[in-house]
Amino acid sequence: MTTGGTSPMADATSSSAIVVVMTAGGPNPAVIINALSRCYPGLQVIQEEPESKSEILRRRARRLGWVNACGQLATMMAAKLLRPLARRRTAAILRTAGLSAVVDPRVPVHPVPSLNDPDCAALVARLKPAAILLVSTRLMNRATLAAMPCPVLNLHAGINPAYRGQMGGYWSLIEDDAANFGATVHLVDAGTDTGGTLYEVRTLPDRGDFIATYPLLLTVSAIDITLQAVDDAVHDRLAPYQPEGPSALRFPPAVWTWLGNGIRRRIW
């Protein structure tokens, strides 16, 4: 389903329910945290330590081989050279939407080593949330997921199942599928973005967008469906469904792929 115009949650009233956001930090999660905090004054954030580049490299090398893993890391390093462009576009996206990418200091933030650490599960048990939302985290393992006392949702910057994993917006453009440049809120299960879909939203990038700004653009576009999904979870009215179509797990493009598509097709 595609959202358009104003979501039913746009003018939502506040709730006393405890909602937990798990994240590794960053501007995209901050946008969602601030939106949720206006509806849930008791919002709690559990922030894990980001994975190191070496951990990510080793994990991808085991799955994809060292050549591809190093090529993907090179893309992320090259994208850093474009940080001035990303900052300007990020500021424009936030300014247009009237949003801040700095977490409201009134929202409690609890640091943990990892969302899969026993300390995280113990903290969740103490907080007793009605819903948990993952935004930009590592994968939650089976044992941790089984220990969660409430529905666990994920905001994914891609349309499932065709654009699971990472950089879903980028890959939809590469595959001439701009109609599926969008985001999904879904239930979390043992797979990677394979849980039942709750809501989808689609949008289009601006000419100034590129691989470093697509995720924020999709996050901003998904605020309303995220609020709606969390509200559904809090009020026990989740209605997940399995979307049709081919399923593909995506990774960041290797640097030669990214540069080739940028030069030939102007998709950066």
pLDDT digits (tens, 9 = 90+) for 243-268: 999 999 999 999 999 999 999 999 99
User: Exposed, middle or buried: residue 121 (CB in 10 Å: 0-12, 13-18, 19+)?
Assistant: middle
Domain boundaries, the chain: 19-265
pTM of the model: 0.90
**Mean pLDDT along residues 22-50:** 96
**Sign for the pseudo-dihedral over CA of 14, 20, 26, 28:** negative
Across residues 172-186, what is the average pLDDT? 97
What's the whole-number mean pLDDT along residues 39-53? 94
Q: For residue 253, is the peptide bond before it cis, meaning its omega torsion is within 30 degrees of 0?
A: no
The DSSP secondary-structure symbol of 199 reads: E
The reported pLDDT for the residue numbered 54 is 87
Percent of the chain topping pLDDT 70: 95
Instruction: For residue range 93-133, list pLDDT tens digits in order.
Output: 999 999 999 999 999 999 999 999 999 999 999 999 999 99
Of 70, 28, 21, 89, which Cα lies nearest the Cα of 251? 70
Residue 197: strand, helix, or coil: strand
Could you tell me how many residues make up the chain? 268
Is pLDDT above 60 for 5? no
Spatial distance between the Cα atoms of 186 and 183, rounded to a whole number of angstroms: 10
CB 218 within 8 A of CB 169: yes
pLDDT tens-digit readout, 205-236:
998 999 999 999 999 999 999 999 999 999 99
Neighbours of 238 (CB within 10 A): 15
CATH number for the segment(s) 19-265: 3.40.50.12230
* CB half-sphere exposure, 47, CA atoms < 13 A: 14
